[in-house]
């Protein structure tokens, strides 16, 4: 895929309209909206498909995977309540778009992807765009033990259950956001680690993600 990094008035205007739409759809967090207004989503698309980049749709990125729908990215990010300096584990780097939104919010991001081609692409493209997360290749359903504990963990693929190992890698007061369900649809779930072995779970809206594939997943 040939990427081009030009952010002209047409793309800036389309991005502004997308942010307005997200607000109309119920995203209220100003910081999230500002961050999404900054990340050039068309940079994650081949130039042929730039006209699709600011529609509120998921889009194929190769390897049978998708860049998440902007509303889904905004929804999950809003639930994370990111504060500057939060140490965040993202499972399922995909295109790296969600990663950039987290970085715009001031998070220190550890992101893991199991598909080698997607991993290699983000390792090249994100730093070129000025975004510098910590990249990992592997099975994120086990988390990343050697950098734990995390303030926040976000899973961007649908899991059959909540992997215990992820809960163990949260700080006390830390938050996990994960879509849980079958392969057709999942409920967005947030889990707050109140104390060691004490969790508060909230089940929210229905989404459809690609499956979390791995040792602690499908």
Nearer to ligand SAM, 9 or 181 (CB): 181
Only segment of 31-39, 107-115, 126-134, 180-188 that touches ligand SAM (CB under 6 A): 107-115
- The answer to the question of residue 140 lying near ligand SAM (CB under 6 A) is yes
Region binding ligand SAM by CB under 6 A among candidate stretches 79-87, 165-173, 186-194, 207-215: 207-215
- Is there a catalytic annotation at residue 141? no
SS3 sequence of the chain? CCCCCCCCHHHHHHHHHHHHHHHHCCCCCHHHHHHHHHCCHHHHCCHHHHHHCCCCCCEEEECCEEECCHHHHHHHHHHHCCCCCCEEEEECCCCCHHHHHHHHCCCEEEEEECCHHHHHHHHHHHHHHCCCCEEEECCHHHCCHHHCCEEEEEECCEECCCCHHHHHCEEEEEEEEEEEECCCCEEEEEEEEEECCEEEEEEEEEECCCECCCCCCC
Selected binder of ligand SAM within 40, 92, 133, 163 (CB under 6 A): 92
* Strand-pair category, 134-137 with 108-113: parallel
We find the least distance from the C-beta atom of residue 217 to ligand SAM, in angstroms, to be 6
CB 186 to ligand SAM: min, Å? 11
Nearest-approach distance from CB 130 to ligand SAM, in angstroms: 18
156 binding ligand SAM? (CB under 6 A): yes
C-beta of 75 vs 175, nearer to ligand SAM: 75
Of 97 and 131, nearer to ligand SAM (C-beta) is 97
Which residue, 19 or 212, is less far from ligand SAM as judged by CB?
212
Active site residues: 68
Given the rule CB under 6 A, which residues bind ligand SAM?
Answer: 65-68, 73, 91-92, 94-95, 97-98, 112-115, 118, 139-141, 156-157, 209-210, 212-214, 217
């Amino acid at each position: 895929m040939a990427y081009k990094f030009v952010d002209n008035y047409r793309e800036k205007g389309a991005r502004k309209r997308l942010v307005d739409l997200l607000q109309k759809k119920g995203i209220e967090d100003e910081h999230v909206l500002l961050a999404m207004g900054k990340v050039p989503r068309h940079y994650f698309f081949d130039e042929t498909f730039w006209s699709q980049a600011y529609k509120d749709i998921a889009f194929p990125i190769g390897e049978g995977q998708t860049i998440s729908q902007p509303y889904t990215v905004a929804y999950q990010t809003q639930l994370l309540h990111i504060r500057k300096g939060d140490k965040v584990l993202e499972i399922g780097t995909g295109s790296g778009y969600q990663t950039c939104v987290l970085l715009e919010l001031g998070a220190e991001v550890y992101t893991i992807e199991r598909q080698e081609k997607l991993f290699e692409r983000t390792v090249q493209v994100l730093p070129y765009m000025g975004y510098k997360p910590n990249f990992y290749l592997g099975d994120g359903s086990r988390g990343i033990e050697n950098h734990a504990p995390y303030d926040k963990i976000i899973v961007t693929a649908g899991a059959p259950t909540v992997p215990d190992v992820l809960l163990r890698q949260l700080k006390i007061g830390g938050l996990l956001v994960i879509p849980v369900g079958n392969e057709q649809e999942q409920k967005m779930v947030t889990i707050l680690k109140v104390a060691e072995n004490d969790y508060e779970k909230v089940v929210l809206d229905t989404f459809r993600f690609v499956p979390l594939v791995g040792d602690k997943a499908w």
